[in-house]
Structure 1
Amino acid sequence: MSETPLSPAVPVSDADLLARTVTAVRAAGSALRERFGDVVPHRTREELMRALAANDDTALDILRPRLTDLRPDAGWVEDELDGGALPAGEWWVVDPAEGNVNHLHALPEWAVTATLVRENRPVLTAVHLPLTGETYTALAGAGAHVDGRPLHVSRTADLVLGIVATSQARPDEDEKVVQRVGSSITAMLFDALVVRTSVPASLHLLNVAAGRIDAFWQFAGARADLLPGALLVTEAGGRISDAEGRPWTPRSESFLAAAPGIHAGAVATLSR
């Protein structure tokens, strides 16, 4: 059942919208948790895609009506793999099962995310981890939190001491992107302390915001896997750019989120 719609005659704060968004992602996460357990068998790409879609539909059946009630005039991004800028106005950017392939393989790294984007800027986000029960939130100008506790990026000031991470943006990536990913991992293996590589991106970005790892980068990418973490990291005191240090937008071909003390070093490594 969806929540009672907000009256259009009554001004609604973004903080109230975030609280209701949290309720929605937790409800969707509960439904996905009930589907989690054994590895879901699949012998063909078609069978895999059907299993992924079933998880997405389970969560969307809960998220779509609830979030539409909150902002009836907001657009809805249908494909979580879409990239690029959005048209003017408000948009819900949702990944109903971030790390869906992990869910199907009985791996714990998956989440439910919902981000409200206004004029191409994320203004609030909620990321729920059903297996731990944690919910990460960020509100533009009001900080980032996990279950109400403030998040802060690390104070690491030298890349050589840094734990860094990257992720595969999508399957069947362009060959040039794949080559760039490989060379960037090699460069970071020389310059950083430890390099982690896994999906999904959002979970790495939670760790950057929480100060557990020091930087995350990715080439290509979609709005749904980068916008939640971009807001979380920014509100936790981190720096966001593309891999060359230029301002990041959804149109950018690369993404970097880092603690301020190692951002320049990470840019230097990724720009080689």
Structure 2
Amino acid sequence: MEAAELAGRLLRDGRPEGLGVAATKSSPVDVVTEMDLAAEKLITEYLLDLRPYDGFLGEEGGASAEGRSGVRWVIDPLDGTVNYLYGLPSWAVSIGVEMYGERVAGVVEVPMRGETYFARSGHGAFVTGGQYGDKQVRLRCRDAAPLAESLVATGFNYVADVRAHQAEVARELIPQVRDIRRGGSAAIDLCDVAAGRLDAYFERGLHPWDLCAGEVIAREAGALVGGRPGREADGELTIAAPAGVFEPLQALLEELGAWHD
């Protein structure tokens, strides 16, 4: 939580007017800013000082290390990079923790909301700040609604051909749900499921750093989190929703081929 807060403050207060692009990701639409790299450096140095034997996996590559403690920190220093680049508020710092390969804890810092979401396995999910004030409020996902009355969030890939298929899936899905939202940050979408602001969320193409922290938070708030039938959430498909929404949504996404390009 301390590392996420420091990185969030750096990104919020240090955002320059004209952002320089340090590198490109999978296409010219998706950029990695200098601030993204600076935030990852801050997080990893902070954690390494306290946990020198742990492993690290960071989106920008600078944090990748095996470690020898059985603990690995999975870091997305700036989830919602394009939102950040354009001055939109929906971006976050996401830090998840794996223990012997199992996702066990996470924090998602959302600086422009002033909110911090956090959870650890078996101990519940909580939020503090923003509309919640100084209190630590326990999170609980919404009670299940019929799929036709469910507000569902998703995301789209930055590669045009992949995005085209995802748009076709969304076109087929829209008449069968209340509506669809696209926020631009997987970590925030998972937290919004946990907080009851969304009924469900799904996306294809997530990486471990996109979902590690948010998965623990959503799960500890009572949501089911998984992928294709019988599988965990992974790069093919991630779904988060309360029981009763999860199952019909998973079945529909399987039918629509949401798990492939």
Matched, 1:157 2:138: no
- 1:52-67 equivalences in 2 (<5 Å): 52-67=32-47
Residue 142 of structure 2 aligns to a residue whose secondary structure is coil
AA in 1 matched with 2:159:
D
Q: What are the superposed Cα offsets for residues 194-227 of structure 1, whole Å, 9 maximum, x if unpaired?
A: 1112311111111101111011111121011111
Following the alignment from structure 1 to structure 2, what is the Cα–Cα distance between the partners of residues 50 and 216?
21
Residue 245 of structure 1 is matched in structure 2 by 229
Work out whether residues 24 and 32 of structure 2, in 8 Å CA contact, stay in contact via their aligned partners in 1.
no
Deviation at residue 49 of structure 1 after TM alignment:
9.5
Residue 15 of structure 1 is matched in structure 2 by none
Work out whether residues 191 and 269 of structure 1, in 8 Å CA contact, stay in contact via their aligned partners in 2.
no
Following the alignment from structure 1 to structure 2, what is the Cα–Cα distance between the partners of residues 124 and 70?
17
Matched, 1:23 2:2: yes
- 1:184-263 equivalences in 2 (<5 Å): 184-242=169-227, 244-250=228-234, 253-263=236-246
Work out whether residues 24 and 31 of structure 2, in 8 Å CA contact, stay in contact via their aligned partners in 1.
no
Residue 52 of structure 1 aligns to a residue whose secondary structure is strand
Which one has more relative contact order, counting CA pairs under 8 Å at least 6 apart? Answer: 1
Go from structure 1 to structure 2 and tell me whether the alpha carbon gap of 1:245 and 1:179 turns closer, same or farther (over 3 Å shift).
farther
Deviation at residue 132 of structure 1 after TM alignment:
2.0
Residue 182 of structure 1 is matched in structure 2 by 167
Q: What are the superposed Cα offsets for residues 24-79 of structure 1, whole Å, 9 maximum, x if unpaired?
A: 1101111111133746487x969x79973411222123211211123211111143
The gaps in structure 2 that reach 5 residues or longer are: 129-135, 256-261
Following the alignment from structure 1 to structure 2, what is the Cα–Cα distance between the partners of residues 166 and 204?
8
Residue 17 of structure 1 is matched in structure 2 by none
How many residues end up aligned between the 2 structures? 240
Deviation at residue 162 of structure 1 after TM alignment:
0.4
Using the size of structure 2 for normalisation, the TM-score is: 0.83
User: Sequence identity of aligned pairs in percent?
Assistant: 29
The RMSD of aligned alpha carbons is 2.7
AA in 2 matched with 1:34:
D
Go from structure 1 to structure 2 and tell me whether the alpha carbon gap of 1:31 and 1:51 turns closer, same or farther (over 3 Å shift).
farther
Q: What are the superposed Cα offsets for residues 100-149 of structure 1, whole Å, 9 maximum, x if unpaired?
A: 22111111111111111112211111111111221000111101000221
Using the size of structure 1 for normalisation, the TM-score is: 0.79
